[in-house]
Structure 1
């Protein structure tokens, strides 16, 4: 039952192949590589995961890389991680890891150029990176009875430096920064999970997590009311460009929500705003040692004023011999904002695992 509490892999960086070669000099007994591709109508996500066994059935080095494009005209997010899984006994596993995202910058138009009024085009340049620490501990009953169970608890602490700038540009000229500012957002995410194995064919699961912010994620790193008012006063026809500004805020909330949730894969959904909490029950049918299917539902409550989201997903896993495992999943996500109509997104994921 230890396999149930062990978490194989974390998000293989671009230098992961070189790292694997270097790790070849270590007394490793086994290694696992995982590749996964996810997509919706507007988003794309890709993941390379890996772990290396340093001590037989006890110590594993985990590393990885994940990338995400949450929407059109949005710069990709790149996240790296490095950690260790340590089995303390046949029942207990503890994990720790460092996670960081590379600096990301997105330029979004806010107002069109107005040559007759002598006003340049305006754009918002937003950027952020992240540095975080994740810790977890899991217990697995690990017996051979008809009813077995597992529990795990985790906490993540992440720092986000959020930068913003207003950039003006006239046709044929280089962009000019009008002003720029940086603020810090801290996120503490405690989580709890449980699973119950009933006989040889059924497994029930339940997971939940909270997101605690050091400041309001809807205002930190974004343009203040005073800055927006100054923009409106300068542009007499700014009302014509309100759709641009509204789209900018929607993209910003979605981008930050996906980054904070650590959801660099559409199988868990892509939040349309920063989350406050989430709950995910699941049921897994284990047909045999080769095929298993899972049905899951996730409810996400966004921060006040942003509504909530639902995600219904099914995932099917196929093992092709001992070293190879393949899986596919499809999901339907429905977000219900407080001030607009619900919108739906279809999600799909393909993945493969190879152990050697």
Structure 2
């Protein structure tokens, strides 16, 4: 690889936040700013929105050892839909460059406890039916290990590979409160512990100075079914059904709660929260596997454009999603860059018992947008 392609390859492999937070590697590998000087600090901010979803992330690199070791700090907040509590995640990582080809990193992240109250049914004194509400919540603790190899040569065709493995612990809690005729509150409480392991693999191929082809894939493994973890037993569900006017109303309320819980878990469990943006899509349920091919074009040093497609297969019974996205990055001098991405997402739900009565759509389309910026000082 010659000229600019050589610089781009080395810059993309520059240690820092891209591999410590592997969730951002697909967008950051080839879009890093010019090689930083010793002691430089890089800070970035990104915001995403789509179909009630909101997310904000702040990331930073601090050099610990000249050109070889970097400390990565991150904070992400995400709200899966209107009316739910946001998820707050803190991360701390270390990147270390081994020679000119290898980069290894480790990241620990902590998801702060969250709790969301969902009204299921209002009180109906004339029918002697109490108010029913549900409170759902979870927290997380995760460890991510990753390694990347870059050819870092000077030929017209260069390539890079990376792999990662994460382990996450999720305490999941569900609580339903029912006001009885005596004024006491009847509560059904359940808490489960869900473990999640996620291996992933990525690769990129640089063709000359203008083109890059990339592919990423990941598999998510669960210690138990994430659709039933923390949910209520059949006996508890039957007891709750007696608090509604009709069986159909009870079914609709429970299906609505399940949909909200699955969307919330999809954001927190399907992937790392910091990986959710317009180019990857917003999961509406826990995922089983996903892959994302991409094509990047660099007409010069200032502008970079990318076209990508992301496919996610959710766990059994929850369908799949398609995301078609484009992302454009503009470099503002040697120390700053900004980017924006837009996408169209389609989720296809598999019909479940009772969903036809509840009016659940089989297909949902939504638009997504992400904007961000980075500055090195």
* Global fold match (TM > 0.5): yes
Greater CA deviation, 191-200 or 262-271?
Answer: 262-271
Residue 149 (str. 1) matches residue 159 (str. 2): yes
Q: What residue number does 1:93 align with?
A: 103
5+ residue gaps, structure 2 = 1-8, 22-37, 352-360
8 A contact 2:190–2:232 mirrored in 1: no
Q: Structure 1 residue 176: deviation in Å?
A: 3.4
Q: What residue number does 1:189 align with?
A: 198
Q: Distance in 2 between matches of 1:159 and 1:2?
A: 35
Q: Structure 1 residue 169: deviation in Å?
A: 4.2
CA distances 1:175-217 after superposition (whole Å, capped 9, x unpaired)? 9351322110000000000000000000000000000000000
5+ residue gaps, structure 1 = 12-27
Map of 1:204-219 to 2, 5 A cutoff? 204-219=213-228
8 A contact 2:307–2:326 mirrored in 1: yes
* RMSD of aligned alpha carbons: 1.8
Q: What residue number does 2:126 align with?
A: 116
Q: What residue number does 1:75 align with?
A: 85
Greater CA deviation, 45-54 or 28-37?
Answer: 28-37
Residue 259 (str. 1) matches residue 271 (str. 2): no
Greater CA deviation, 274-283 or 258-267?
Answer: 258-267
Q: Distance in 2 between matches of 1:312 and 1:35?
A: 23
Which of 243, 253, 258 is the aligned partner of 1:244?
253
| Number of equivalent positions | 338
Q: Distance in 1 between matches of 2:272 and 2:119?
A: 27
Q: What residue number does 2:71 align with?
A: 61
Q: What residue number does 2:346 align with?
A: 334
Which of 29, 43, 51 is the aligned partner of 2:53?
43
Residue 348 (str. 1) matches residue 369 (str. 2): yes
Q: What residue number does 2:3 align with?
A: none
Q: What residue number does 1:19 align with?
A: none
Q: Distance in 2 between matches of 1:300 and 1:279?
A: 7
Q: What residue number does 1:129 align with?
A: 139
Q: Structure 1 residue 55: deviation in Å?
A: 1.3
